[in-house]
Structure 1
């Protein structure tokens, strides 16, 4: 019996250092966790710091709001100015044309008054009328108004309106042989077609 007890005593003695090592590791782990928690606590912002950050964020938000309001107001001002300028352009689009047209009317009135005089000179009246027509033609040309006078030209349904047909052997068929009323274009777009008489082949 004494021999077995001695063996058990010898076998149990080596386990003591292992238990102590486990206890030391656990103690070291708890110490490390405590230090980590302390470090995290030290790094966390204080209430005063949080209030300061909140104040900065509110100031930045208010600044952005003011900027947005100013941009919106500027856009509205631009829109109003554009609308006013567009209305003005529509209202006075013919201002320059009317100013250039007034001398033509003045010339016509002078010619009319001269024709009413007892000593009216037909030759001078004709000369004044020709000058007035030239003045009118110059004004129209400045504004892109071009007459359509297609005498002796092939009939073009895009610019001409045939009023009648006339059998002719001296010109090719579908030739404009007379213009009853001139047409006009404005910057290349037809305003009024020319009223014409068109030749047709003789039977």
Structure 2
């Protein structure tokens, strides 16, 4: 039996086994390379995220700054009309009135183009989202009905910019 062991030992020594597993140093180098690649990818992703955040902030700032650019451009024609009226040497009262009416039409057209509409709630039911009641008065109208509009309100699309100042009916007891 000892002879058998000797033979097996000799066979193992004459045919050294190929290393199947890499050495610990090679494993460590591979792991370090992989870690470096992941770190580099993370740094690049972080930088890209910061760049996107910065560009988005710049876009928001530009949008805020120039949001009224189109509206302002349309108002220039209204301003020109008012200046032309003031530059007239000796306009008659009738010409002045006609000029003011035309200028008002221009302004109303600009407002309409940009969905800026007035709130004129005469005779309507009081709505606290659209109206601001200044006073409650005796009236033949049903309770909470707008009986007097002191100042028109304005809405931009669906948002109330300024509520209408109104007087509301107290109603009959």
Alignment of 1:6-21 (within 5 A): none
State how far apart, in whole Å, the 2-side matches of 1:36 and 1:76 are. 64
CA contact (8 A) 2:142 2:172 kept: no
Q: 77, 87, 97: which is aligned to 1:103?
A: 77
Residue in 1 that maps onto 2:17: 42
Judging changes above 3 Å, is the alpha-carbon distance between structure 1 residues 103 and 38 closer, same or farther for their aligned structure 2 residues? farther
| Secondary structure of the structure 1 residue equivalent to 2:142 | coil
Return 5+ residue gaps in structure 2 as ranges: none
Specify which structure has the higher proportion of helix: 1
Judging changes above 3 Å, is the alpha-carbon distance between structure 1 residues 193 and 61 closer, same or farther for their aligned structure 2 residues? closer
| Secondary structure of the structure 1 residue equivalent to 2:129 | coil
State how far apart, in whole Å, the 2-side matches of 1:36 and 1:127 are. 119
Q: 43, 65, 75: which is aligned to 1:91?
A: 65
Return 5+ residue gaps in structure 1 as ranges: 1-23
Residue in 1 that maps onto 2:130: 159
| Secondary structure of the structure 1 residue equivalent to 2:17 | helix
Alignment of 1:47-126 (within 5 A): 57=30, 66-114=40-88, 117-118=89-90, 120-126=91-97
Judging changes above 3 Å, is the alpha-carbon distance between structure 1 residues 199 and 71 closer, same or farther for their aligned structure 2 residues? closer
State how far apart, in whole Å, the 1-side matches of 2:17 and 2:64 are. 73
Q: Is structure 2 residue 128 aligned with structure 1 residue 128?
A: no
State how far apart, in whole Å, the 1-side matches of 2:142 and 2:56 are. 56
Query: RMSD across aligned C-alpha pairs, in angstroms?
Result: 3.4
Cα drift, residue 195 of structure 1:
0.9
Judging changes above 3 Å, is the alpha-carbon distance between structure 1 residues 69 and 176 closer, same or farther for their aligned structure 2 residues? closer
Residue in 1 that maps onto 2:7: 31
Relative contact order, higher structure (CA 8 A, sep 6+): 2
- Give the TM-score taking structure 2 as reference length: 0.76
| Secondary structure of the structure 2 residue equivalent to 1:155 | coil
State how far apart, in whole Å, the 2-side matches of 1:173 and 1:29 are. 115
Cα drift, residue 68 of structure 1:
4.2
| Secondary structure of the structure 2 residue equivalent to 1:146 | strand
